[in-house]
Structure formats: structure tokens, C-alpha cells
Structure 1
Amino acid sequence: MTMVLSDNKWAGWIAVAIGFSIPISTSLDNILLALLLALWLLEGRFREKVSSALDNPIVIPALMLFGIYVLGLFYGVATWHDALGSLKKAANLLLILVMIPIFKEEKLRHFAIWGFLGAVCLTMLLSYLIWVGVIEPNNFFKGDQDEPVVFKLRITHSLLMAYGAYLFLLKARQCISKPSGILFGVLALAAFYNVFFMVASKTSYIVALALGVYFIVSHWSWRSTGIAVLFLMILFGTIYKLPSSTPHQRVLLMYNEAKQWQPGQSDHSSTGDRLEFLTNSLRLIRENPIWGAGTGGFKGAYAALVKDTKMDPSDNPHNEYLMVTVQTGVMGLGLMLWLFIVQWRMAPLLPDSFDFLAARGLVILIVSASLVTSTLIDHTEGLFYVWMSALLFAGWKSAGDQGARPCRSPL
């Protein structure tokens, strides 16, 4: 009994530490995950743990989505190397089943959120120090003054910073103490400034705007809406009036790249590549619409499609919806959307308004980011999604449970 309790305790703190590690170190992520899984296996009691996890409504959709990747091993065009590599990435979904029972303790969920926000604050501080030149370019950090990223590359850095900014807004809204509310508000503004004006990522612009709009709607009042609209007008006006600003340059570049793109002609621009991936992926989907090309089949199917053309092969369409549908057809796409819908609908049954809105924000992040990047196959984005899903939804209670107090929102 003592051993079981000890394993539970250590597994809980390792799960908390993963939240701090995700924005900082892939190597540390892998070490912590290996330790967590080892403790989970050594503890035993598999029937009890799995049964506890299956009571949670997001676990079945996650397992079924993973299951269709297992099924996809037995058909399609992928080599075993590519198929098993794709299955390994999809296996992150199993971590939801592993971590939900661990995070049922409210104290651990509390520490985990603060661990993640602490890592965001550390990243933001270092990013600003790089930006102003206090920290010079070095081998430890990835950025410089022109692009002050720290531990992760541009897209990943900005996505985590945008979600961190959203959580700071929720904390500011929740605070009873005015000084604490002001502090969280300042942190939110600093994080959003980092996203929009310091680190250039079109993906994060989409995510940050989507999160900002939802935050406004979820706290609907004429006063707050008026302030938010005024803020957005000032933001967009500033971007428009400052042609040298990072957002202005990125949006203008995207427009010019889209204008110059020609179907069938690889132009090696970011926007042009994405348009090419879109058109070619849709052609692949039409060839195998129901079940797709099989797990890991995107690379081989795409290579066959562009053979003897001027287009380059690719193993990533930079769009999670395309990646899933090319490999597993509309069956896989439907399961992924089902998972997102279940999370959206079950969020009001989380313990308090912070968890509810944080969960809705997580869905908004994954849905919007997946339009322009393959979120579930990227290590940091995929691990962050499953870790935060387990963390937030571990506190779920069914509507019939005593003590369940559903949160309410206009959406």
C-alpha cells in the first residue's frame, strides 16, 4: 500500500513538472514522460485506473481516434517505418487516459497550471531581454533581436505565448484583489505584445485573435465589449500605420505570396507552399475519401502525386485536418472533430469558470492552429494539447453528480 501511495505521489508531481517542461525542453519532456509511464506501469491496478479514466467523456473519443491509426497500419501505401512513426505521434492521445486519474487531485491541477504559467513567464522575460539586447545571441537560446524566441522556434513559441496570455486574462478577470488583477492584466498585455510585435508568426495571429474574440464574448457586457473593440481598433490602426511593424510585414508578405502563387509551380514561399499542400491534399482525399491512404501514408501518397512535376515532395501539409484526412479519411477527421466537440460541450461541467474558459480556449487554440499547422504531429503542440486536456478535464463532473455546478456562458 505504501508503494502504491508513493508511486501516485511521484507520478502526480512528474505530471505537474511536464507542464513546466513543455515550453522549455523537448529532452526533459521525454525524460519526464518515460518516468511517468514507468511509474504508471509499476503501480499496477490497471483495471481501476482505466475504469476511472473511461468515466471521463473525452477519453473514448481520444481512444477511438488513436484506434483508427492502429487500423490504418493494415492498409495503404506507407512503409512500416513511416507507419510506425505516425502511430507513435498519435500515441500521445493515450496520455489523456494515463493522466486524467493522476490529475483528479485539485491541488495537483492548481500547481500544474502555475507551473505552465511560470514557464511562460520565464520564456517571456528571456524573450524581452533578447529583444532589447541584454542577452546576446548564443548557443543556448534559439533567437536574436530580430526574432527573440527562446526555447522553441517561432510558431511553437507564439502559440504557447498566446495561450498563456489568454490564461493571464482569465486570472485577471477572476482576481478579487485589484493589484493582482492589474499584474495579470500587464502579463497578458506583455504576452500579446510578444506575439504580435516581437515574434512573427501568422499562425499565432490567428490563434491570438480567436482567443481574444472568445474572451470578449464569454464576458459579454456593453462596457467590456466597448473597451475591447476600442483596443482592437487601436491595435489594427497601429499595425496599419506602421508599415515597418512585424504584423504589417507578415500580413503583407502573406498577401504577396498568395498573389504570386501559381498552381503546379513550386515557388518555395510559406504561403505558396501551403496553398500547394492544400490543393494536392484535396486531390489525395478525393482518391481515398473514406479510409484514406493509411497511417503514415501521407508522405508516399504525396510523393507519387507530384512525381514528374515541378512540385516538391512533402511529408507534412501544415494542416492537421488535411494530415488526418489524407491518412485516415473522413472517418478519422470525424473522430478528431468529435473529440473537439465533446471537449467544447463538456467544458461547462468543469469545477469553476477558470477551468471552463481555459478548456474552451484550448479547443479554440487547437481548432484554429490546426488550420495552418499539423498540431498533433508536432511534439510540443501535440503534447501540450493532450497534457492540458487531461489537466482541465480531470475535474469534470457529470451533470447528475452531487456538487456539479455547471458554468454558464453565452456560447
Structure 2
Amino acid sequence: MTIAEKLSNSMNNTATWMAIAMGFALPISTAASNIFLGLTLFFFALSGNYYRKFQSLVRNPVALMILAFVALTALGGLYGQGDITDKKFYFGKYASLLAAPLLMPLFSSARHRLYALIAFSLAMLLTLVLSYALRFGWVPSATGFLADRALTGTSNPVVFKLSITHGFLMAISAFMFALGAQYAQLFFWRRTFIILAILAGVNVLFMVIGRTGYLVLVALATYLFYCRFGKKGLALALFFSLAIGTLAYQLSDTFYDRTRTAIAEAQAWKPKAGDKSSIGLRLDYYSNTLAIIKDHPWFGVGVGGFEVAYSAKIKGTQMAPSNNPHNQYLLTSAQFGLLGMVALISLFATLLWQARYLAPPYQQIAYGVLFAFLIGNTFNSFMLDFTERLFFAWICGVLFSGLPERKTLDKHHRT
């Protein structure tokens, strides 16, 4: 091996470890996540072998679909409403998805993919421990690392992130811990993962106020039951979901209050009345965005046009302005029209289709994460939110780097 080859391998290996470290940083710190992403790109650029890496990307259907989706968002900057600042803001969010294909060549080794998932799980374990410590008063709520001291305390013990992100990632972590129990060979680790899965699930349902986390946890539990028991698992999941939901409603003040509040706010909402409640605002966002889509059905208002179009739609009313409708499907449709909606659906469809070629447990993790994002994007615009957006790109880069070569895929499809 020449000196140049040794140097290239060293830079590539360093880039991989920076990407693994990013998995630990994502649930904890925005600044650290950006630093490790920057270091990953820096060492990736120094590692060379660009042609080989390019070949691996063009053989990967997931990488190609992500590139196509980002290209569409770039085209959305050539027309529509909004100034250059608005267009740069929104396109910059979508462009972050390019981290996924850039990470794929770094995780060609199954060992590194495992290390990446362990790094993320350790960060969530730290979050879980600190959340329980906050809940029981072992850590003061004025501690400096908290995401928002005003919204944190024993009644809502979120740690590094706010409640939606905390609940969303913790629900995914509970799912991953449960999978760890399924695949663990030693009794000690199987029991440990079961305990962690239960603690994470309790954290989502009984301790944190994020409603998105509730729905994601139920969906992932249903998928786990289906994997384990087949169609009978769906009936079991329904039974246990109803039982646990009833228990949470009766015993958890957090779950009870959030559920009752959501129902009351939805019932009290009136169109164009300028409702300031959480659910009322979202219903305003949805109705006004649907009106924008109706006005611009084919190509939308452009990548930077949503905020301008929304402001025009609520002019002369008491409704609050917004830069997104808190629903990724509506946002994409408003920005890029029917073409954008088709592209977004195609992106998720490609990911779901290609996940079947992954080896277990990566296959189950991929399906679980995708189900989580499909649900989460119904109530949030996750491609605008830093942690969720970059986590999506990171986890896709880690998991779908394990796709077999296209020839192997074709052979598998024929059989």
C-alpha cells in the first residue's frame, strides 16, 4: 500500500468516526452536531477516491432519490414568490438531506453501522437518565444544559431538546431498545434492553408532553407486534394500545391534560377566528395552506414563497402568521404543487421499498424510523426542524449504506 493510499484510508476512517460521533451529538447539541458534520465533510473531502464513491452512490437507489428530491427543491427557487433570502432559507433546509448520500460511502462496513447506532442509543440513554433525574428532583430544573428552563421541570422533564423532539426521538429509542432485546443473545442484555424499552416508553407516555411522541410510540409498538406475531400481532397491539392508553389517561396527569386539551381546542376552533390555542393554530395553518394549494395546484408558490403566500391569505384577519403549516405534506404541496407531493411520496416509497433489502435488524430499524417520520410529518414540518431533519439524513445514510449492489438487488427481485 502506497503512502497516498494509507493517507486516503486514514482520512476516510476519520470521517467515518466523525459521522459516528455526530450520531451521539444529534439528540444533545445543535452546535456539536454541526461541528461533527463539518469535520465529517472535511475529512471526507480529504479522503479522495471520489470516482469509487460516486459509483457507489449511483448504484444506490436511495441516494439517487434523495438527490432528485433536493434537485426539485432547487428548481423551486427559480420561480414563485418570496425574495432571495426566503429561497435560501428554505432551500438550505432541504439541502441538508444531501448529508445522507455523502455519509453512505463511509458506512460500507457493518461494524461502523453498528457503532453509529450504539452512539445514538448512548445519547438517548443519557437523555433518559437525566429526564428521570429531573422528574424525581435529583437534578435541579435550573441546570444549564436544559433545552428550555421555562418549559422544563418535574411535570415535563425534557432535557437537551424541546418536548416534540424529545418525545419523537425517545419513542424511536424505545423501539430500538425493544429490537435490541429481540436480537440479544445473552440473557443479561436481553433483560437490560427490555427494561430500557419500558423506561423509554413510560417517559414518552407518562412524563413528557409531546403528542407526536404518543402516536409514534403506538405505531412502532404495533409494528413490533406485527413483526413478532404476524397479523395476530395487530389485534394484540390494538388491545395493548387501548389498555395502556386508558391507563395513561387515568393515571398520568400529563397524558390526561394533553389529551383533554387537544379535544377541547379542536372543538372550540372556528375558521378565520384567529384562535391562539395549540390545536387552533394548527387548524388555521392547515385550512389556509389548503387554500394556497388550491390557488397554485400544479407548481406551488416556489421554495421561498410560502410565508409570503400565507401572509397574503390571512391579511385583514386576526390569524397568526407562520412560515410553515406544521405539516410537511402540506408545506411541500404548497411550495412545489402536485409535482412536489409526488416527489415527497416517491422519496418515502423508495425508502420503504429499499428497506426490504437490508439485513436484520437494520431492516426493522429502517421501517420503524420511516413509519415514525411518516407520522411525525403529519403534525410537523420535520424537514425544517434541525434535529429531526439532520437525524433523518444521518440515519438514512447509516442504514441504506448497507444496501447490496444493484446486480444483487436485481437477482433478489427476480427470485
Name the TM tier (shorter chain). over 0.9
Partner of 1:43: 47
Distance 1:289 1:224, change over 3 A: closer
How far is the alpha carbon of 1:229 from its aligned partner? Answer: 5.2
SS of the aligned residue for 2:276 comes to coil
SS of the aligned residue for 1:374 comes to coil
CA distance in 1 between counterparts of 2:215 and 2:278 reads: 16
TM, length-normalised to structure 1: 0.94
Give the AA of the match of 2:168.
L
Partner of 1:386: 393
CA distance in 1 between counterparts of 2:388 and 2:379 reads: 13
- Are the equivalent residues in 2 in contact too, given 1:89–1:377 (CA < 8 A)? yes
CA distance in 2 between counterparts of 1:310 and 1:28 reads: 40
Give the stretch that moved more between structures: 90-99 or 393-402: 393-402
Partner of 2:326: 318
CA distance in 1 between counterparts of 2:313 and 2:234 reads: 49
Of 262, 267, 286, the residue aligned with 2:275 is 267
Distance 1:126 1:290, change over 3 A: same
- Residue identity over aligned pairs, in percent, reads 34
Two-structure CA RMSD over aligned residues (Å): 1.9
1:188-199 map, 5 Å: 188-199=197-208
Of 354, 360, 366, the residue aligned with 1:359 is 366
How far is the alpha carbon of 1:226 from its aligned partner? Answer: 7.2
How far is the alpha carbon of 1:328 from its aligned partner? Answer: 1.1
- Are the equivalent residues in 2 in contact too, given 1:319–1:370 (CA < 8 A)? yes
Give the stretch that moved more between structures: 225-234 or 203-212: 225-234
SS of the aligned residue for 1:370 comes to helix
2:156 is the alignment partner of 1:147: yes
Partner of 1:287: 295
How far is the alpha carbon of 1:68 from its aligned partner? Answer: 1.0
Q: Provide, for residues 326-364 of structure 1, a one-character-per-residue CA deviation record: whole Å limited to 9, x for no partner.
A: 11112112111111111111112112x211110001110
2:239 is the alignment partner of 1:235: no
Distance 1:304 1:8, change over 3 A: same
Partner of 1:27: 31
2:70 is the alignment partner of 1:70: no
Give the AA of the match of 2:202.
Y
How far is the alpha carbon of 1:241 from its aligned partner? Answer: 2.8
Give the AA of the match of 1:81.
T
CA distance in 2 between counterparts of 1:224 and 1:22 reads: 33
| Stretches of structure 1 lacking an aligned partner (at least 5 in a row) | 407-411
- Are the equivalent residues in 2 in contact too, given 1:69–1:295 (CA < 8 A)? yes
2:102 is the alignment partner of 1:98: yes
- Are the equivalent residues in 2 in contact too, given 1:349–1:398 (CA < 8 A)? no
Partner of 2:266: 258
Partner of 1:245: 253
How far is the alpha carbon of 1:392 from its aligned partner? Answer: 0.7
CA distance in 1 between counterparts of 2:368 and 2:340 reads: 23
CA distance in 1 between counterparts of 2:403 and 2:11 reads: 24
CA distance in 1 between counterparts of 2:325 and 2:392 reads: 20
How far is the alpha carbon of 1:45 from its aligned partner? Answer: 3.3
- Are the equivalent residues in 2 in contact too, given 1:66–1:94 (CA < 8 A)? yes
CA distance in 2 between counterparts of 1:87 and 1:42 reads: 26
- Are the equivalent residues in 1 in contact too, given 2:96–2:389 (CA < 8 A)? yes
CA distance in 1 between counterparts of 2:369 and 2:54 reads: 24
Q: Provide, for residues 50-91 of structure 1, a one-character-per-residue CA deviation record: whole Å limited to 9, x for no partner.
A: 221121111111111101111011101111001001111111
Partner of 1:125: 129
Partner of 2:378: 371
Give the AA of the match of 1:37.
L
- Are the equivalent residues in 2 in contact too, given 1:66–1:93 (CA < 8 A)? yes
- Are the equivalent residues in 2 in contact too, given 1:50–1:97 (CA < 8 A)? no
Of 15, 20, 28, the residue aligned with 2:19 is 15
- Are the equivalent residues in 1 in contact too, given 2:206–2:248 (CA < 8 A)? no
CA distance in 1 between counterparts of 2:158 and 2:412 reads: 41
Distance 1:157 1:60, change over 3 A: same
Distance 1:254 1:103, change over 3 A: same
Give the AA of the match of 1:123.
T
Of 326, 329, 345, the residue aligned with 2:337 is 329
Of 81, 84, 88, the residue aligned with 1:84 is 88
CA distance in 2 between counterparts of 1:282 and 1:262 reads: 16
Give the AA of the match of 1:167.
M
Aligned residue pair count: 404
Give the AA of the match of 1:92.
S
- Are the equivalent residues in 2 in contact too, given 1:349–1:399 (CA < 8 A)? no
Give the stretch that moved more between structures: 371-380 or 225-234: 225-234
CA distance in 1 between counterparts of 2:401 and 2:126 reads: 27
How far is the alpha carbon of 1:152 from its aligned partner? Answer: 0.4
| Stretches of structure 2 lacking an aligned partner (at least 5 in a row) | none
2:162 is the alignment partner of 1:162: no
SS of the aligned residue for 2:161 comes to coil
Give the AA of the match of 1:293.
V
CA distance in 1 between counterparts of 2:234 and 2:189 reads: 22
CA distance in 2 between counterparts of 1:148 and 1:367 reads: 26
Give the AA of the match of 2:145.
F
Structure 1 runs of 4+ aligned residues shifted over 3 Å read: 221-231
Q: Provide, for residues 143-195 of structure 1, a one-character-per-residue CA deviation record: whole Å limited to 9, x for no partner.
A: 21121011000000111100000011111111222232121111001001000
How far is the alpha carbon of 1:39 from its aligned partner? Answer: 1.8
Partner of 2:141: 137
Give the stretch that moved more between structures: 225-234 or 18-27: 225-234
Q: Provide, for residues 353-384 of structure 1, a one-character-per-residue CA deviation record: whole Å limited to 9, x for no partner.
A: 21111000111011000000011110000000
Q: Provide, for residues 182-239 of structure 1, a one-character-per-residue CA deviation record: whole Å limited to 9, x for no partner.
A: 2111100100100010001111111111111111112225886676555334312313
TM, length-normalised to structure 2: 0.93
SS of the aligned residue for 1:144 comes to coil
